[in-house]
Amino acid sequence: MYDISQFAIVFDRVDDSFLLKPQRWNAKDMLPFAFVNGPISSIFDLTTFAILGIAFGVFANPSEANINMFNSGWFIEGLLTQTLVVQMFRTEKIPFIQSRATWPVNVMAMTICIIGLVLPYTYIGNQINMVGPPPIYIPIALGIVASYCLLSQIVKMGYIKIFKKWL
pLDDT band at 22 (very low <50, low <70, confident <90, very high): low
State how far the Cα of 140 lies from the Cα of 136, in Å rounded to an integer.
7
CA contacts within 13 A on the Cβ side of 136? 4
pLDDT of residue 1: 47
Q: Are 109 and 86 in contact (CB under 8 A)?
A: yes
Q: Are 68 and 130 in contact (CB under 8 A)?
A: yes
pLDDT band at 108 (very low <50, low <70, confident <90, very high): very high
% of the chain with per-residue pLDDT over 70 = 93
**Average pLDDT of 49-55?**
96
The alpha carbon of residue 85 and the mean position of all alpha carbons in its chain are separated, in whole angstroms, by 4
Pairwise pLDDT comparison (8 vs 94), residue with the higher score: 94
End-to-end CA distance of the chain: 22
pLDDT of residue 83: 93
In this predicted structure, the answer to whether residue 58 has a pLDDT above a threshold of 70 is: yes
Q: What is the pTM of this model?
A: 0.84
Nearest to 167 by CA among 19, 31, 4, 52: 31
**Average pLDDT of 101-126?**
95
The domain limits of the chain are 47-163
State the chain's mean pLDDT as an integer. Answer: 89
